[in-house]
Amino acid sequence: MANINEAFLNLEEDYLFSKVIEKMDEYKLKNLNAKIINLGIGDVTLPLAKTVIDAMNKATYEMASKENFKGYGPVQGYDFLIEKILKYEYEKRGVKFNKDEIFIASGTKGDLAGIAELFSTNSIVGIMEPVYPAYRDVNIMLGRKNIIYLKGTEENNFIPQIPKEHIDIIYLCSPNNPTGIVLNKEELTNWVDYAKKNNSVILFDSVYEAFIEDEDIPHSIYEIEGAKEVAIEFRSYSKLAGFTGVRSSFTVIPKKLKVQDFNSEKIELNSVWKRRQSTKFGAAPYITQRGAEAIYSEEGQKEIKENINYYKENARYMLEKLKKAGFTVYGGKNSPYIWLKTPNNMKSWNFFDKLLSEAGVVGTPGIGFGKTGEGYFRLTAFSSKEDTIDAINRITNMSSKE
Ligand code: PLP
């Protein structure tokens, strides 16, 4: 009989969001008439921008002619999209890259899993916590045992300290999912300095970058001097342009970023990733890349900003009303997430059950984002305005009944 890769047995039984959906469906079956409002899953709800739809329609019709038909695309992505990224995401912020430093993909999730394969199994991994659980899981799947959690607590404003010990691979997420905190220039500079001193690599996830509103918060880690030598950046169109179902993203691996082999020879991670992608990734679809390109037009920018502002207004409303009702809440600014401290130190899954049964509102238990998340709860601003107002009313009424 075939043997299982035992690393997979070290994972927690259920992926956090599957468990949330399972519990919600169970409740729905028992309460057929109840209107449940889901502020749990971090998925967008507004439709795609018209500019994006038009571009993808046009690209689809191109496929109908022999002259314009596209088969397998370039593994790193089409130049038309990469050139827009270089100009509008980086040059605008004073950062210069070459085309071969950008890799277009079909969502950041896959790249986060793939990049983790590039490092030796014995690597010491440092993961900011609470955080998106996929970072931890992909490393467990690869059999890594040396995982250090860089704890963000109320005492340090959910911003982990620079560790005293050595770490090889550092996961940073800013704006953070789930706490909504952002890392400022000084904090990022400290991480870049640490990585340089320790020959570490920073995996910088800024898929929520579009929610940043404070002028002094970097949108990209490459706004920090020296970051090209130590950091990989992950960016996605999922939350930026509502592409969670379309699937499009990009990863930046600067040519200056080097790691070493067993003979201490320096190796460019960029070429190793390209080699890996050539074997494991079938290139991102032409149609979705045309859709992503469209967001950089004047009209596209206007449309996606309207959607982001809609979610930001939800977040602002939630923060204000929950604070007023006496909850301790974080995030909600520079981020679509509200990080709520459960009342009376309630365990986060208990609060989930209470909220569902008493208010018909679904959120995400903080413990799902790591042990440091126990006693907290994540609410998202991705619902409709009407549902957000309704949900917050229900929550605040419930709390006043306690
Ligand atoms: N990184 C973080 C922090 C996320 O919260 C998510 C999705 O919610 C992702 C990455 C995955 O993004 P994508 O939709 O591009 O796969």
Residue at 156 is within a domain: yes
Q: Which amino acid is at 372?
A: T
The reply to whether 368 and 256 lie within a common domain is no
CATH number at residue 361: 3.90.1150.10
Pocket test for ligand 1, best of 16, 177, 207, 209 (most atoms within 8 A of CB): 207
34 lies in the same domain as 115: no
Mean pLDDT on 141-170? 96
pLDDT per residue over 2-60, tens digit each?
A: 999 999 999 987 778 888 889 999 999 999 888 999 998 889 999 999 999 999 999 99
Residue nearest to atom 11 of ligand 1 (CA): 109
Q: At what angle do helices 348-359 and 16-30 cross, to 10 degrees?
A: 30
Question: Are residues 154 and 270 located together in one domain of the fold?
Answer: yes
Whether 107 and 191 map to the same domain: the answer is yes
Asked if residue 259 and residue 153 are part of one domain, the reply reads yes
Q: Are residues 143 and 226 in the same domain?
A: yes
Of the candidates 151, 233, 140, which has an alpha carbon nearest to the alpha carbon of residue 192?
233
| Cα gap 124→258, rounded to integer Å | 17
- The CATH number for 73's domain is 3.40.640.10
74 lies in the same domain as 59 = yes
Mean pLDDT of 259-266: 91
- From 297, 317, 349, the end of a domain falls on 297
Distance between CA atoms of residues 122 and 113, nearest Å: 17
Nearest atom in ligand 1 to the alpha carbon of residue 43 is: 8
Domain that holds residue 185: 50-297
* Residue 330 pLDDT > 90: yes
Average pLDDT, the chain: 95
* Ligand 1 midpoint to CA 109 (Å): 6
Domain boundary among 274, 297, 320: 297
In this structure, is residue 93 part of a structural domain? yes
Q: Whose CA is nearest to atom 4 of ligand 1?
A: 132
Query: Do 32 and 62 sit in the same domain of this protein?
Result: no
Half-sphere exposure of 360 (CA within 13 A, CB side): 16
Ligand 1 centroid vs 358 CA: distance in angstroms?
30
Q: pLDDT (tens digit, 9 = 90+) per residue, 105-118? A: 999 999 999 999 99
Residues 240 and 347 placed together within one structural domain of the fold: no
Query: Mean pLDDT over residues 225-244, rounded?
Result: 98
Q: Which residues line ligand 1 (CB under 6 A)?
A: 42, 107-109, 132, 173, 177, 205, 207, 236, 238, 244, 249
- Alpha carbon of 108 to ligand 1 centroid (Å): 6
Q: Which of 297, 331, 359 is the C-terminal boundary of a domain?
A: 297
Q: How far does the centroid of ligand 1 lie from the alpha carbon of residue 69, in Å?
A: 31
Please tell me whether residues 88 and 37 are part of one structural domain.
no
Whether 96 has a pLDDT exceeding 80, the answer reads: yes
Q: Quote the number of domains for the chain.
A: 2
Sign of the dihedral defined by the CA atoms of residues 353, 359, 364, 370, in that order: negative
Task: Say if residue 322 is in the same domain as residue 292.
Answer: no
Report which ligand 1 atom has the smallest distance to the Cα of 239.
14
- How many residues comprise the chain? 402
Statement: the pTM of the whole predicted model exceeds 0.95: yes
Q: Which ligand 1 atom lies nearest to the CA of residue 131?
A: 3
Tell me how far the alpha carbon of residue 132 lies from the centroid of ligand 1, in angstroms.
Answer: 8
